[in-house]
Amino acid sequence: MRAITFLSFILLVLVPSSYASAQVLTLNNLEYFETQGANVLVYSNLFTGGFNDEKNAGIELIHHGVRTAQGGAVRLSSTPEQWDLVPDIFNRTTDSVNQTIEATLRYEDYAFESRVVVTPKGKGVEISVYLDEAIPAELEGDAGFNLEFLPSQYWNKVYMMDGRLNRFPRYVVGNTVTRPNSEKLKQFLGYVTADDRATGSFIEPLPLETGRSLLLAPDDPERLVKITSEDTDLMLFDGRILAQNGWYVVRSLLPAGKTGKVLTWVVEPNVIEGWEREPNIGISQVGYLPGQEKISVIELDKNSIPLLTASLHKIGNDGVATEVFTGTIKPWGDYFKYNYVKFDFSKVTETGVYFIQYGDLKTNNFIIGENVYDEITDATSDVWIPIHMNHMTVNEGYRMWHGEPFKEGYLQAPPSTDHFDMHAQGPTTDTKFKAMEHIPGLNVGGFFDAGDFDIETGSNLGVVQNFARIWEYFQPTRDQTFVDEEQRYVDLHRPDGIPDVLQYLEHGTMNLVAQAEILGHMALTLTNSVLDNYHHLGDAASITDGLPYNPELGPYEVAADGRSSGVKDDMWAFTSRSPRRDLRAATTLAAASRALKGYNDELAARALKQSKRLLEEGTELLASEPKNAPAGRWGVGADIGSNLQLYITTREQQYADKFQELLWPVLDQNVNSLLLTALDAIPEMDASYREKLRPYVMKYKEYINELENDNPYGVPIGLRNWAGSDQVVNFGTTVCFANKYFPDIVGKEHAFKVTNWLFGCHPYHNYSLVATLGATRPKEVFYGNNRADFSFIPGNMAPGLLFRQPDHFENYDDWPFLWGQNEGTIGGNTSYLIFGSVFKATVK
Using the predicted structure, report yes or no on whether residue 152 has a pLDDT greater than 90.
yes
Interval 689-716: pLDDT, tens: 999 999 999 999 999 999 999 999 999 9
Q: Which of 625, 619, 654, 656 is nearest to 638 (CA)?
A: 619
pTM of the predicted model as reported, rounded to 2 decimal places: 0.93
The pLDDT of residue 90: 87
Burial of 747 (0-12, 13-18, 19+ CB in 10 A): middle
The pLDDT of residue 8: 46
The pLDDT of residue 628: 62
CATH class belonging to 280-368: mainly beta
DSSP letters along 425-463, please?
Answer: E-SS-SSSPPTT-EETT--SS-B--SSS--EEHHHHHHH
Domain boundaries, the chain: 2-169+208-269, 280-368, 392-578
Q: Which of 269, 233, 288, 313 is nearest to 23 (CA)?
A: 269
Interhelix angle for 749-759 vs 826-843, to 10°? 140
The pLDDT of residue 634: 45
Interval 125-136: pLDDT, tens: 999 999 999 999
The arithmetic mean of pLDDT across residues 311-333, rounded, is 97
The pLDDT of residue 5: 41
Using the predicted structure, report yes or no on whether residue 360 has a pLDDT greater than 90.
yes
**Are residues 764 and 280 in contact, defined by beta-carbon separation less than 8 angstroms?**
yes
pLDDT band at 626 (very low <50, low <70, confident <90, very high): confident
Using the predicted structure, report yes or no on whether residue 195 has a pLDDT greater than 90.
no
**Are residues 314 and 297 in contact, defined by beta-carbon separation less than 8 angstroms?**
no
Fold of 2-169+208-269: Beta-galactosidase; Chain A, domain 5 (2.70.98)
Mean pLDDT lowest among 437-446, 636-645, 793-802, 806-815: 636-645
Interval 560-585: pLDDT, tens: 999 999 999 999 999 999 999 999 99
Q: Which of 78, 306, 54 is nearest to 204 (CA)?
A: 78
- Residues acting as catalytic residues: 814, 823
Using the predicted structure, report yes or no on whether residue 587 has a pLDDT greater than 80.
yes
The pLDDT of residue 438: 94
Interval 784-824: pLDDT, tens: 999 999 999 999 999 999 999 999 999 999 999 999 999 99
- Backbone angle region of 800, left / alpha / beta, with phi > 0 → left and psi within -120 to 50 → alpha: left
The arithmetic mean of pLDDT across residues 462-484, rounded, is 96
DSSP letters along 699-732, please?
Answer: HHHHHHHHHHHHSTT-SPPP-SSS-SHHHHHHHH
Which is more confidently placed, 281 or 191? 281
